[in-house]
């Protein structure tokens, strides 16, 4: 049985940990509001850009279609762009992203596809390397900036497009978390390159409208497709930041509650041990007095 000194030391240690988790929870809550607002504000722009692309892509086809839209004509080599966080203490967020990436890799390998990984963020590297060390093509570090933004998304997009132009892969898929709430962040897999042709819904207000583009659809798509890739990556980074803060706030809240429960249990043990020690001393005093 632990001594009174050991129990008191454990109680003080848990209290110190509880202060840290509580402070981390409050910081994550403050950052979550900004990160969530940024992610939600970026979504309408991406949706509108997809609508414009749908209109343009419907007018371009065959040999005139840009390579980023038409692809290489093959689907053998896959590049999985996995977006993880740079910091820990965010529950099972990174584990879920890695799980989705590994599952997708196994599916592709099972049907005979060649798979490589393009890792963004630090926390997903080690678990993926343990199983697919020889398949990790590139590791892009975003930890040097406080909040990754469009500059980092543009750098990643330029690198991916350059690799695609060199023929290093046929299809790139983006694996990242979508922020739903502080309790829910869903890993998702989207095709990034070649850019999937969005479909125009029949009830869209632009459906059936006659639109003339100047200078031309092909020229506009040549400029628009790289921006679309950058926008998708930028949105993924924003979703990652919001997901990280939401998961961190929830995890730290649970840790704070668990620390409180542990403090209560240790305090009860401490009081019982102290009471037992006092009782033993009293019995010894009484026994000594009776012996006299």
What are the tens digits of pLDDT across the range 104-125?
Answer: 888 888 888 888 888 888 887 8
Q: How far apart are CA 91 and CA 196, in angstroms?
A: 33
Answer yes or no: are the C-beta atoms of 169 and 77 closer than 8 Å: yes
Which residues of the chain, if any, have pLDDT below 70? 1-2, 54, 57-65, 197-218, 292
Give the residue among 234, 240, 232 at the shortest CA–CA distance from 153.
Answer: 234
- Checking 69-72 for CB contacts under 8 A at 24+ apart, the result is 69/194, 69/195, 69/197, 69/221, 69/225, 70/194, 71/170, 71/171, 71/194, 72/167, 72/170, 72/194
Predicted local confidence at residue 211, as pLDDT:
56
Active site residues: 90
Predicted local confidence at residue 204, as pLDDT:
46
Give the residue among 84, 177, 174 at the shortest CA–CA distance from 129.
Answer: 84
pLDDT tens digits, 228-276: 888 888 888 888 888 888 888 888 888 888 988 898 888 888 888 888 8
Taking the C-alpha atoms of 63, 69, 71 and 76 in order, what is their torsion angle to the nearest 10 degrees? -150
Q: How far apart are CA 18 and CA 33, in angstroms?
A: 23
Superfamily the domain 25-248 falls into: ATP synthase, F1 complex, gamma subunit (3.40.1380.10)
Q: Which residue is listed with tokens 């080690």?
A: 126
Domain residue extents for the chain: 4-21+252-291, 25-248
Q: Which residue is listed with tokens 């607002």?
A: 37
Predicted local confidence at residue 63, as pLDDT:
62
Predicted local confidence at residue 208, as pLDDT:
46
Answer yes or no: are the C-beta atoms of 232 and 195 closer than 8 Å: no
Predicted local confidence at residue 64, as pLDDT:
64
Predicted local confidence at residue 247, as pLDDT:
85
The pTM of the full predicted model, rounded to 2 decimals, is: 0.78
Measured CA to CA in angstroms, residue 132 lies from 101, 137, 174, 277 at distances of 11, 10, 17, 57
């Amino acid at each position: 049985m632990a001594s009174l000194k050991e129990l008191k030391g454990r109680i003080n240690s848990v209290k110190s940990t509880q202060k840290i988790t509580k402070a981390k929870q409050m910081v994550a809550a403050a950052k979550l509001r900004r990160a969530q607002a940024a992610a939600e504000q970026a979504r309408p722009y991406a949706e509108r850009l997809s609508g414009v692309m749908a209109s343009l892509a419907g007018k371009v086809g065959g040999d005139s279609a840009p390579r980023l839209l038409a692809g290489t004509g093959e689907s053998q080599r896959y590049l999985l762009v996995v977006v993880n966080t740079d910091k820990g203490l965010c529950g099972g967020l990174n584990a879920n992203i890695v799980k989705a990436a590994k599952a997708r890799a196994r599916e592709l390998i099972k049907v005979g596809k060649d798979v490589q990984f393009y890792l963004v963020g630090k926390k997903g590297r080690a678990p993926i390397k343990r199983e697919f060390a020889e398949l990790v093509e590139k590791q892009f570090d975003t930890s040097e900036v406080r909040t990754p933004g469009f500059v980092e998304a543009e750098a990643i997009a330029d690198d991916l497009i350059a690799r695609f132009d060199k023929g290093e892969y046929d299809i790139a898929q983006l694996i990242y978390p979508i922020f739903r709430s502080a309790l829910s962040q869903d890993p998702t897999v989207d095709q990034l390159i070649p850019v999937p042709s969005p479909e125009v819904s029949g009830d869209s207000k632009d459906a059936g409208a006659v639109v003339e583009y100047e200078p031309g659809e092909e020229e506009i798509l040549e400029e628009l497709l790289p921006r679309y890739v950058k926008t998708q990556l930028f949105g993924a980074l924003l979703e990652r930041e919001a997901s990280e803060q939401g998961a961190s706030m929830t995890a730290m809240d649970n840790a704070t509650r668990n620390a409180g429960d542990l403090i209560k249990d240790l305090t009860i043990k401490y009081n019982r041990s102290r009471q037992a020690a006092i009782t033993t001393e009293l019995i010894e005093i009484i026994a000594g007095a009776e012996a006299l």
